[in-house]
Amino acid sequence: MNIATTLVFLAVATWISGRGITTSQRIQFVLVGFQMVVLLVFVVAAFVHVASGSAPAGLAFDPSWFNPFSGLALGAFVVGVTGSIFAFWGWDTCLTLGEESKDPKKTPGRAGLLCVVSILVTYLLVAVAVMMYAGVGEEGLGLGNPDNSENVFGALAEPVLGHWAGMLLFLAVFASSVASLQTTFLPAARTMLAMGAYRAFPRKLAEVNPRFLVPTYATVVAGVVTAVFYTVVSLLSERALLDTIAALGIMICWYYGITAFACVWYFRHELFTSARNVVFKFLFPLLGGIMLAAVFVISVGESMNPDNGSGASIGGIGLVFFMGFGVLLLGAVLMVIMRLRQPDFFLGRTLTRDTPALSGEADVEARR
């Protein structure tokens, strides 16, 4: 039943994403705005309970909560990092929509920064409020209670907000899920559009719908791949969510990391021409790439242990390893196939430093 319900929502989200960027934008404004307001109300209510003494056995605020090196085991630290990377995943959606923005030179960058900051602030506020309200005990509302681990908001909604207001928190979680679905399809479709245009992928993926002005075919492909991935994972693991988050964290580390290194390489001739370039084109991307590469290597090793995921395994090796590293290997195989079938991109013939940006379907057709 869960699989069927999820597939229905995937189909709806795919349909919305294929109706044009304006439709997606309006829906995102409503969904994200609603969930942010509800989460802030939840945080304020939790702090009010703590201040009035009506909260359960919570924890007093401790600055050490923000110290990742305070006695954490390596496995727990890596799981936390990959989980946080997954939580931030999607912030770059606005960057992939640059050509569809009102001011493509400024708006996407500002939106990306605002997205990262808002995610960080919201997460920290909710995390601190929940720990101060419920604590980490293994009984009652404690975060260490196994009965609460699958759905913390489900356990805390009514005690913190009351019966009717608590229902809004469930709706906020639902809104977040729907909004996240769109941030899966939008950047994936635009990435496939670009790769198809420059012949790194089949040219069919570069087609733009003349009515909605979006890559409809690529959007549908992204929806189908997501549906297949979710269905397979759900059938292999009873706790698919935990394994999926860990596996996606590995994949995100990989492609964010190589993007950071690619940034340094692309700007290699101008890295030290100014202090600004040293910081933003060299140090920041290089350090980010190194950190993500380190987390990737450690995560792949830790993912082989079933205990670091849901416990599901294949041949004694954790399912997370096959989902994360296995999908990357599959991507490498597909890349080799495309290299053999359409070598122009891989030989540097369709995309170079001097290649003008493609701005529409006519340009894509011309490049063919």
Span 10-33, average pLDDT = 85
Span 133-157, average pLDDT: 80
pLDDT at 240: 65
- Answer whether residue 314 is part of any domain: no
- Domain-embedded: residue 357: no
Predicted confidence at residue 238, as pLDDT, reads 63
Whether 11 is in a domain gets the answer: yes
What whole-number percentage of the chain has pLDDT above 90? 16
Of 82-96, 248-262, 302-316, 347-361, the range with the lowest mean pLDDT is 347-361
Beta strands in the chain (DSSP E): 313-314, 317-318
Which long-range CB contacts under 8 A does 222-230 form with residues at least 24 apart?
222/14, 222/184, 222/185, 222/188, 222/189, 222/192, 223/10, 223/11, 223/13, 223/14, 223/17, 223/185, 225/188, 226/10, 226/184, 226/185, 227/7, 227/10, 227/11, 230/3, 230/6, 230/7, 230/10
Average pLDDT for residues 255-282, to the nearest whole number?
92
Would the pLDDT of 36 be above 70?
yes
Predicted confidence (pLDDT) per residue in 297-311, tens digit: 888 888 888 776 667
Whether 135 is in a domain gets the answer yes
| Domains of the chain: total | 1
Query: Is pLDDT above 80 for 18?
Result: yes
Cα torsion 171, 176, 181, 186: sign: positive
pLDDT of 16 reads: 85
Alpha-carbon distance of 273 to 254, in angstroms, equals 29
pLDDT band at 21 (very low <50, low <70, confident <90, very high): confident
Per the domain annotation, does 67 fall within a domain?
no
| Mean pLDDT for all residues in the chain | 82
* 146 vs 222, residue with greater confidence: 222
| pLDDT higher at 240 or 53 | 53
Output the pTM of the full model: 0.77
Residue tagged 């509800």 (tokens): 38
Structure tokens at 46: 């939790």
Higher-confidence position of 295 and 290: 290
| pLDDT category of residue 362 using cuts at 50, 70 and 90 | very low
- Between vectors from CA 189 to CA 187 and to CA 192, what angle results, nearest 5°? 105
| 363 has a pLDDT exceeding 70 | no
Q: Is position 272 within any domain?
A: no
| Per-residue pLDDT tens digits for 264-274 | 999 999 999 99
* Alpha-carbon span 244 to 86, nearest angstrom: 10
Residues 350/367, Cβ–Cβ less than 8 Å: yes
Kindly state whether residue 289 falls inside one of the protein's structural domains. no
Residue 126 resides in a domain: yes
What percentage of the chain reaches a pLDDT higher than 70?
A: 93
> 286 falls in which pLDDT band (50, 70, 90)?
very high
Q: What is the reported pLDDT for 325?
A: 80
| Gap between the Cα atoms of 249 and 231, Å rounded | 19
Least confident of 13-22, 65-74, 211-220, 294-303: 65-74
CA 223/CA 13 separation, integer angstroms? 8
- The confidence score (pLDDT) of residue 360 equals 46
241 has pLDDT over 80:
no
- Which residue range is the domain that position 168 belongs to? 1-58+90-236
**Residue 260: pLDDT band with limits 50, 70, 90:** very high
Q: Please tell me the predicted confidence (pLDDT) of residue 289.
A: 93
pLDDT tens-digit profile of 90-118?
777 777 777 777 777 788 888 888 888 88
Mean of pLDDT values over 255-272: 91
